[in-house]
Amino acid sequence: MQLLVNIDHIATLRNARGEGYPNPVEAAEVCEKAGAYGVVFHLRGDRRHIKDVDVYALKNSVTGKLDFEMAASNEMLSILKKVNPQLCTLVPEGREELTTEGGLNMSVVFDDFKNRVFPAIRETDIEISLFLDPNPEDINLAFELGTDAIELHTGNYANAGSKQNAQAELTRLSEAAEQAHKLGIKVNAGHGLNQKNLPGFLRAVPHLNEISIGHALISDALFDGLENTVKKYLKIMDGYGY
């Protein structure tokens, strides 16, 4: 199991003042130095945090895994091919949302992904991951598309208002991970995970390949430093024997 750090909110802070700092590329370098397996960024259509220049700079700088998170627009597919990262994670995207609010609705996007999106990406060597809620039907459709991986949306678990609700979400996530694994699909996960809820997630959910953590990690880094915070998350993950 590996840690990928989402550095979007380094760019959010930079953009708040229109200055050239803090630099997402420098943040990525610190994360990798601290032991992170790679870096995640989400290039949104409105460019609210990561900018195009960041994308190409990260491609030239990151030595580990680079995960390009994106909506499946023709614009993003074109940029994806130029950047050629190791992984592309396809996510739903709404202009009014503060952050990605849920997984792809596979019954809605299936035909478009089958006829337009997957063929375009399969012209490259880029692996494809689909950001999904832990729904059996969505995972089966992802399998039909031939996805390499799924990223399980952990936001409902992270934001559960009670232990009972959290346990119910963990059951769903565990069953989804088992299903994907049996189908030969890599299991990634992310959204809302932090130092408090990560241990419970790791205890409950099997077959985890990569964990993506961004907002909580960057927030913790304001107090503990970025390198030290990455090491803290890695220490939590190391405790579960993956």
Q: What mean pLDDT value characterizes the chain?
A: 95
211 with 1: CB under 8 angstroms? yes
Domains in the chain with CATH codes: 2-238 (3.20.20.70)
Residue 82, exposed/middle/buried by CB under 10 A (0-12, 13-18, 19+)? Answer: exposed
pLDDT digits (tens, 9 = 90+) for 2-52: 999 999 999 999 999 988 999 999 999 999 999 999 999 999 999 999 999
pLDDT digits (tens, 9 = 90+) for 95-104: 555 556 689 9
Reading the block at residue 144, the tokens are: 């039909």
User: pTM score, two decimals?
Assistant: 0.94
157 with 199: CB under 8 angstroms? no
State the pairing for strand pair 186-190/127-132. Answer: unpaired
N-to-C CA span, the chain:
5
Active-site residues, by number, are: 42, 69, 191
pLDDT digits (tens, 9 = 90+) for 128-165: 999 999 999 999 999 999 999 999 999 999 999 899 99
Distances (CA, A) of 136 to 132, 157, 171: 10, 17, 13
Bond prior to 22 in cis (omega within 30° of 0):
yes
* Cα–Cα nearest to 8, from 64, 69, 59, 61: 69
Task: Quote the pLDDT of residue 102.
Answer: 87
Reading the block at residue 47, the tokens are: 């460019």
Task: Quote the pLDDT of residue 57.
Answer: 98
pLDDT digits (tens, 9 = 90+) for 223-236: 999 999 999 999 99
Contacts of 130 (CB under 8 A, 6+ apart): 89, 90, 103, 104, 106, 142, 145, 147, 149, 150, 151
**Across the chain, which distance is largest between two alpha carbons, in Å?**
48
Which of 123 and 241 is assigned the larger pLDDT? 123
Q: Is the pLDDT of residue 90 over 70?
A: yes
pLDDT-derived band at 240 (thresholds 50, 70, 90) equals confident
Mean pLDDT, range 120-124, rounded to an integer = 98
